Amino acid sequence: MKHNKKLLLTLLSSLSFLANADVLNGNFEAWSNASADNWTTVDSGISVNQNTNIIKTGTSSAAITVNTVTQSSTDFLQNIAVTAGQSYDFSVWVYHTEGGVKARLFADGYRGYSNPNLVNQWQQVSYTYAATTTKEIAIGLRFYDSTGFDGAETVYIDDFEPTTSAGTGGSACSSNDIAFSLTTDQYGYETSWSITNSSNVEQASGSNLSNSTSYSENICLADGDYTFTINDSYGDGICCTYGNGSYDISLSGTSLVSGGTFTQTESKNFTLGTTGGGSGGNEGTYYQSITTQTGYSLKTALHNLINNHTAQGYGAIWTFYANNALDTYYDNDGSILDIYSEKPFGSDSYTYTKVTNQCGSYSGEGDCYNREHSFPKSWFGGKIEPMNSDIHHIFATDGFVNSKRSGFPYGEVASATFTSTNNSKLGSATAALGYNGTVFEPIDEFKGDLARAQLYMATRYQDVISNWQTNSTYGDAILDGSSNKVFETWQLNMLLRWHANDPVSQKEIDRNEAAYLHQGNRNPFIDHPEYVEKIWP
């Protein structure tokens, strides 16, 4: 069988309109005459059976066996009705056994893939669908063969659900529909969690969890004060010694509490009100101590304000991305916003589905997304906290392009040796830059974002950054060994130019807000761009 040849398995329905776009028997609990109720199989190359051993929730799942080596009509179908102007969160849990096929979510078109390399564990494939017209659409999965497919392979599926997004009027939750996500470490059975209200009455909880598994669910909570508590029976938290575990509670895309690095137990409070927001989360009086300071005195005052953030751990970055690194600004498709591939004024060459397309290994651009330290780890000495997990300088990017950037300084390229699909470049620096060496140049749309991230690092780590100059060759190229100016003149002039030419965007404002809720500090140069000129005139 040739690779990349489609094995088509589309999950659709023979039923007509469903009032709230509910999938019938999406949890595969109802079976009649050995067939899943409300689902139809039309091809002998696909068999579907009830399974009671490998399940995500409930008492059964669907075991789908692909046993054909030629493409044919292999549909397992369900249709649902959608309403114009509403958004629907489609998702399905997939369990691979061999890794020879990958599942692709279908929701009125082809969407994200599962990762076939994650075998013997559940993974979620999801997509937010925005309905432009009122109609019936097809939903489901399609399977594509991967290296190693031997002509017959079983994949388990469970919990096929569309849930109307909060605020669209179609959700069953009439108060606060919060999104809870948790990724366990390699010892998931040690972890348990609960949410209690102000009267200490439990509202939701979880335990007996699987190892290295991602869980997500929506929880309906009334307005009020809540406490989230997570426990680890061994006492080493869920990140980062034995895996990259993390947790997040979000409302309408805004993170309320998150983390993963703790010991025996950790509790965090959040508040739900009529505005649907959590506690904190805006500038408020954050900068009240900043009055008439200028120059490096202002920089020191800002350092004192932002230097005590709470490191959430490197693993928690994946959860932050899943909730706060989504494209709702350009293509508005809910995919991961990869600054090294995003085409602000055209169609992207590829898109990444949150969680599903996390790196992983890669062999070329478009394989997966990962965590790009815009201020590289080698510059501050390696995997050292809090720098290693400081979300203000770590962006979602294509893994392959990230590897091309490596530890090179940002700069402006004269002659490129590599160009990404959105025209980010690696190559020799322009003569006008004042630096003779290899640099990486992002596109203009994100130059200001990255400049303000670098200026944040110069301020947040003012007390230690003067010691970083000799950590690496490329760090030495941009750092001047001081704690005030911080950057070599050529780099500082470029950052100031990028800051001026690419002003703060709504995307940055939203990300800064989410970062504040995530780790407890802000990037002052996003809230107050004028501070840049006051410090570095």
CA distance linking residue 378 with residue 479, whole number of Å: 13
CA distance linking residue 238 with residue 307, whole number of Å: 25
Residue 354, Cα to own-chain centre: how many angstroms? 5
Amino acid 15: pLDDT? 29
Residue 155, Cα to own-chain centre: how many angstroms? 25
- 327 or 20: which leads in pLDDT: 327
Report which of 133, 134, 128, 140 is spatially closest to residue 322, judged by C-alpha positions.
Answer: 128
Amino acid 168: pLDDT? 34
DSSP-assigned letter for residue 467: G
Which tens digit of pLDDT belongs to each residue from 85-123? 778 888 888 898 998 888 878 788 778 888 888 888 888
Percent of the chain with pLDDT over 90: 48
CA distance linking residue 311 with residue 519, whole number of Å: 6
CATH class of 6-164: mainly beta
Tell me the two tokens of residue 341.
């591939």
> What is the distance between the terminal CA atoms of the chain, rounded to a whole angstrom?
64
CA distance linking residue 142 with residue 116, whole number of Å: 13
CA dihedral sign of residues 299, 303, 306, 312: positive
Report which of 126, 130, 99, 128 is spatially closest to residue 115, judged by C-alpha positions.
Answer: 99
Contact 224, 275 (CB under 8 A): no
pLDDT band, residue 30 (cuts 50/70/90): confident
Task: Give domain limits for the chain.
Answer: 6-164, 176-272, 295-535
Which tens digit of pLDDT belongs to each residue from 41-65? 656 677 888 998 898 877 889 998 8
CATH class of 176-272: mainly beta
CA distance linking residue 344 with residue 329, whole number of Å: 9
Residue 60 has φ and ψ, to the nearest 5°, of -155, 160
Q: What is the pTM of this model?
A: 0.55
Contact 146, 116 (CB under 8 A): yes
Tell me the two tokens of residue 208.
């007996």
